[in-house]
Amino acid sequence: GDSVTQTEGPVTLSEGTSLTVNCSYETKQYPTLFWYVQYPGEGPQLLFKVPKANEKGSNRGFEATYNKEATSFHLQKASVQESDSAVYYCALTGTGGYKVVFGSGTRLLVSP
């Protein structure tokens, strides 16, 4: 079946440093790839999605490229802020499918 593997947390950074959260996936389909973010006490919310291979998604300074050859979708940000502290989930869904497969989540802690 489909699976998503991402960086194990917590990831602890100082404000202003760069972030990379690795995400690798396995599927026999042509998936749409997602990054969701979850703040304390809330449900996950979409950060961005990329439906096509070799394209990049971005939002709020975060970005990731859908790399079909490497089956990867790594999340990056050049300069993190304390307000970025949250749990980040990589996920995929197949074309026309209803199920979404989530990674185990990566907790990011940013100190001022």
Partner 1 sequence: GGIITQTPKFLIGQEGQKLTLKCQQNFNHDTMYWYRQDSGKGLRLIYYSITENDLQKGDLSEGYDASREKKSSFSLTVTSAQKNEMAVFLCASRGTVNQDTQYFGPGTRLLVL
Q: Which residues bind partner 1 (CB under 8 A)?
A: 32, 34, 41-46, 49, 51, 89, 93, 98-100, 102-105
Give, in order, the Cα–Cα distances in Å from 51 to each of 57, 86, 90, 91, 112. 9, 24, 14, 12, 35
Nearer to partner 1, 100 or 109 (CB): 100
Nearest distance from C-beta of residue 1 to partner 1, angstroms: 9
Nearer to partner 1, 105 or 110 (CB): 105
Can you name the residues that pair with 32 across neighbouring β-strands?
93
C-alpha of 26 from chain center: 15
Nearest distance from C-beta of residue 39 to partner 1, angstroms: 10
**H/E run at residue 14:** strand 11-14
Nearest distance from C-beta of residue 10 to partner 1, angstroms: 11
